[in-house]
Structure 1
Amino acid sequence: MTLDDFMEVDTQKAELGRLLFYDKILSGNRNISCGTCHHPAFGTSDGLSLGLGEGGLGLGPDRVSGTGLDRIVKRVPRNAPALWNIGAKSISVLMHDGRISVDPIYGNGFNTPAEEWLPDGLESLIAAQALFPMTSSIEMAGNVGENEVIGATRDRIDAAWPIIAKRVRTIPAYGDRFVAAFDEVDTSEEVSITQIAEALAHFMVQDFTSFDSSFDAYLAGNETALTDQQRKGMELFFGDVGCSSCHSGPLFSDQQFHALGLPAFGPGRTRKFDPYARDVGRMGETDDLKDAYRFRTPMLRNVALTAPYGHNGAYPTLERMIRHHMTPEAARLAWSPGDLTLPDVPWLSDIDFVIQQDRIEMERQAHARDIHIASRNDSDIAALVAFLESLTGSAAKSGNSRIPEQVPSGLDIDR
């Protein structure tokens, strides 16, 4: 891979995006930022199986659910995806269920939950994606009655974004930076959510593009860059085991959707007519029964930094995730809630595992399986883990993405 494979970055926009990424001004209640759930310390994820968004306190596995009227009302239904390399030009679909994609269907270049109400002028898929946590009640927007952002979202999704944009542009330090960074912006009054999303996109591409791993050094001709065990794992990955049939290409993903039959728990990302907490995956976007329980193939660069694994963070280690691919029935039997990094939230405990009481639904999910890999011995599995660890970039491993000391809003930063 080279930088030509990624969206071109404007440094001035990226540094403005850095401030916005860590500034809680983008959230309804001014209490959570993009960086709270996509933090460099946790591989640009949050270290949790299912996140605690709006209302939570703290960072990573130490995050707690809050108290009183400000406490969380629902877990984030899916594992927070890492942000590595999502600025690649070859990516045309994002999110676990692919609900954000490049598509001309609505005349704005993208197929998103905002449909025809997506703001005009967005230049990249990653910028389009950046808008939607701001309108999610459980991620950043807050609960109905708490602030004007969530109230506007309930009227129509695009009604919230001008409110957020006004918050940002009326802070002089932000307004001046936008005028300097964007040619189309002559005064701070012209700043819209489009420029905010683009600044966030430039930052994420600048700081979270990663192709400087030991594996990359090996491809470049350094035969000593991989250990003997890592080379064995590479041969298995691209050979007999067949991992590369789905984890293909330089990003290690075919960008398609596959069912693994992972253990089910949590609230799930339910549709309006789902009667209980379940997650049908890609079918929730397409309404096509053949897509039931299928989820997007994750990209694997820096995967060793982004535990836990699976669309719901079911497995704590790469070894456990690999074993599930090979023997899903045995893996589900061996699985228990103790495998999760799931902060205790007593008022949600009845919901966390209610899906497991539905025998028919559990059988449906267990039988939805697209991946069939022969079981391997412990040595082979250890070699595969070692190879996946060789995909960790040097910059990512050192955690050198800089967190600002302060942000223009003056709000505190989660570190």
Structure 2
Amino acid sequence: MTLAAPAALAQPITAEDFIAFDADQARIGQLLFYDKILSGNRNISCGTCHHHDMGGTDGLSLGIGEGGVGLGPDRVPGDGADAIRKRIPRNAPALWNLGHKDVRVMFHDGRLEPSDLYGNGFDSPAEEWLPQGLGSLLAAQALFPMTAQFEMAGNTGENEVIGAVHDRIDLGWPILAKRVRTIPEYGEMFVAAFDHIETPGQVTIVEIGNALAAFIGTEWANYDSPYDDFVRDGTPLPAAAERGRQLFFGTAGCAQCHNGPLFTDQAFHAVGLPAFGPGRTRQWDPIPRDVGRMGATDDLEDAYRFRTPSLRNVTLTAPYGHNGVYADLRDMVRHMADPLAARAEWTPEKARLPDVPWLQEIDFVIQTDTLEMARQAAFLDLRPVTLSEGDVDDIVAFLEALTGKTALQRPLGRPETVPSGLPVD
């Protein structure tokens, strides 16, 4: 693969590059984002795993979803009937700049993308059951955590939402929409913010998804990093970051995949990250593994390939990788330079997993499957490059220069209260 010249990859971002969302809809989305009313058992919100205090993530390798208590590294897995039965199989993805018009695929395995295949504008896990009227890829994405058992929906038998979802993926959404629109404050806000809504009774999951997208798409738009100053105005980077930039776009080869305005090609690559956790298991597959893109396409060529993440504000979104395998950014850089060597040296302590005694048996069992480990090591798209520790430090300095100066000063932030009256994490 031929490396592009650094100048060709230095692309600035402007406000015109983002979808123009409605501010009143974004305000509704802010409240819904932190309102546990959208979960089956009313005990978790979008914000629980994508919190402002943690840069839009949860600070965990694999999250503690529905049933857990607390935030981030301090979140505990619950007890008794409410105890979690499984870790979330993948790391909570960052939300930065998802409203950019160039974003064309969602989730670590890309199972959501624009398409005319089902007549609703998207190729998604809901197939033809995804409703019409969702205004963006981001709006469609917002609906799926609500249907996920271990994320927001809850366990079978616990509530009407998960029961409906088990019958068909779309049948839980009307239940959630009714919960929202029958709260007077929400009903009034939707009527005021959406031109086609004349009464609260008209609010559906489509308006809820579009409101969440308006919030996420505007709240986490951020492009005022030192690197942006360098690209727009020629403001020099600090010496270490400049050395890192030259390595990044040059001999280290990072820009082969992390390129463009969002520092991602939005393609799928096998990078050999060590496996652990419950895996994103598929029907008829008894192994607790995650085959990545192959899980969405059923194409063996896609085995163990995952979407390239954006690197903007990457210093705020540890741990790293589709399973949060590295809590330290330097470890992630070292891995990308020499995946096989890093796999051999990896230990569970490099991840960030809260202790869940009843899940310990499954947490690292995949590491004992020698055949599966050999398969994962064989599917590798990276060629090793030699980096000194000084080079690693310089690349990390460059990645730090991708952090926005106002990244932690978001327009709306976390609300103190929400219309449902439920507690806000």
Is 2:228 the counterpart of 1:219? no
Counterpart pick for 2:402 among 391, 394, 409: 391
Match of 2:130 in 1: 118
Tell me if the contact between 2:272 and 2:339 (Cα under 8 Å) persists in the aligned partners. yes
Shift of 1:400: 6.0
Q: Following the alignment from structure 2 to structure 1, what is the Cα–Cα distance between the partners of residues 369 and 252?
A: 34
In the superposition, the TM-score normalised over structure 2's length comes to 0.96
Match of 2:97 in 1: 85
* 1:258-297 aligned within 5 A: 258-297=269-308
Between 93-102 and 328-337, the greater mean CA deviation after superposition: 328-337
- Helix, strand or coil for the counterpart of 1:220? helix
Q: Following the alignment from structure 2 to structure 1, what is the Cα–Cα distance between the partners of residues 30 and 60?
A: 23
Match of 2:380 in 1: 369
Q: Following the alignment from structure 1 to structure 2, what is the Cα–Cα distance between the partners of residues 113 and 330?
A: 36
Is 2:354 the counterpart of 1:343? yes
* 1:202-213 aligned within 5 A: 202-213=214-225
Match of 1:168 in 2: 180
- Helix, strand or coil for the counterpart of 2:377? helix
Tell me if the contact between 1:241 and 1:373 (Cα under 8 Å) persists in the aligned partners. no
Shift of 1:222: 4.2
- Helix, strand or coil for the counterpart of 2:233? coil
Tell me if the contact between 1:40 and 1:401 (Cα under 8 Å) persists in the aligned partners. no
* 1:145-156 aligned within 5 A: 145-156=157-168
Match of 2:5 in 1: none
- Helix, strand or coil for the counterpart of 1:396? coil
When the two structures are aligned, how many residues end up with a matched partner? 413
Match of 1:358 in 2: 369
CA offsets per residue over residues 159-196 of structure 1, 9 Å max, x none? 10000000000000000000000001000000000000
- Helix, strand or coil for the counterpart of 2:113? strand
- Partner amino acid for 1:302? N
* 1:119-134 aligned within 5 A: 119-134=131-146
CA offsets per residue over residues 350-407 of structure 1, 9 Å max, x none? 1111111110000111121101141111111110000000001122144665111100
Q: Following the alignment from structure 2 to structure 1, what is the Cα–Cα distance between the partners of residues 247 and 265?
A: 18
Tell me if the contact between 2:30 and 2:412 (Cα under 8 Å) persists in the aligned partners. no
- Partner amino acid for 1:326? A
Match of 2:312 in 1: 301
Percent identity reads 61
Match of 2:196 in 1: 184
Tell me if the contact between 1:78 and 1:269 (Cα under 8 Å) persists in the aligned partners. yes
Tell me if the contact between 1:41 and 1:399 (Cα under 8 Å) persists in the aligned partners. no
Match of 2:335 in 1: 324
* 1:16-35 aligned within 5 A: 16-35=28-47
Q: Following the alignment from structure 1 to structure 2, what is the Cα–Cα distance between the partners of residues 317 and 401?
A: 29
CA offsets per residue over residues 3-55 of structure 1, 9 Å max, x none? 11111121100011000000000000000000000012112110000000000
Counterpart pick for 1:245 among 256, 259, 270: 256
Distance change (3 Å), C-alpha of 1:120 and 1:400: closer
Tell me if the contact between 2:339 and 2:382 (Cα under 8 Å) persists in the aligned partners. no
Tell me if the contact between 1:174 and 1:408 (Cα under 8 Å) persists in the aligned partners. yes
Tell me if the contact between 1:17 and 1:199 (Cα under 8 Å) persists in the aligned partners. yes
- Helix, strand or coil for the counterpart of 1:93? coil
* 1:228-239 aligned within 5 A: 228-239=239-250
- Helix, strand or coil for the counterpart of 2:407? helix
- Helix, strand or coil for the counterpart of 1:168? helix
Tell me if the contact between 1:7 and 1:87 (Cα under 8 Å) persists in the aligned partners. yes
Counterpart pick for 1:2 among 4, 14, 36: 14
Match of 1:254 in 2: 265
- Helix, strand or coil for the counterpart of 1:160? helix
Between 363-372 and 142-151, the greater mean CA deviation after superposition: 363-372
Shift of 1:326: 1.4
Q: Following the alignment from structure 1 to structure 2, what is the Cα–Cα distance between the partners of residues 4 and 384?
A: 29
Is 2:424 the counterpart of 1:402? no
- Partner amino acid for 2:266? Q
Is 2:205 the counterpart of 1:193? yes
In the superposition, the TM-score normalised over structure 1's length comes to 0.98
Counterpart pick for 1:104 among 101, 109, 116: 116
Q: Following the alignment from structure 2 to structure 1, what is the Cα–Cα distance between the partners of residues 36 and 235?
A: 46
- Partner amino acid for 2:383? H
Q: Following the alignment from structure 1 to structure 2, what is the Cα–Cα distance between the partners of residues 314 and 405?
A: 33
Between 171-180 and 232-241, the greater mean CA deviation after superposition: 232-241
Q: Following the alignment from structure 2 to structure 1, what is the Cα–Cα distance between the partners of residues 248 and 277?
A: 31
- Helix, strand or coil for the counterpart of 2:116? coil
- Measured on the aligned residues, the alpha-carbon RMSD in Å equals 1.0
Tell me if the contact between 2:339 and 2:384 (Cα under 8 Å) persists in the aligned partners. no
Tell me if the contact between 2:66 and 2:153 (Cα under 8 Å) persists in the aligned partners. yes
CA offsets per residue over residues 234-253 of structure 1, 9 Å max, x none? 11111121111100100000
- Helix, strand or coil for the counterpart of 1:229? helix
Q: Following the alignment from structure 1 to structure 2, what is the Cα–Cα distance between the partners of residues 399 and 378?
A: 34
Shift of 1:76: 0.3
- Partner amino acid for 2:135? E
Q: Following the alignment from structure 1 to structure 2, what is the Cα–Cα distance between the partners of residues 379 and 338?
A: 24
- Helix, strand or coil for the counterpart of 2:176? helix
Q: Following the alignment from structure 1 to structure 2, what is the Cα–Cα distance between the partners of residues 280 and 263?
A: 12
- Partner amino acid for 1:412? P
Is 2:324 the counterpart of 1:313? yes
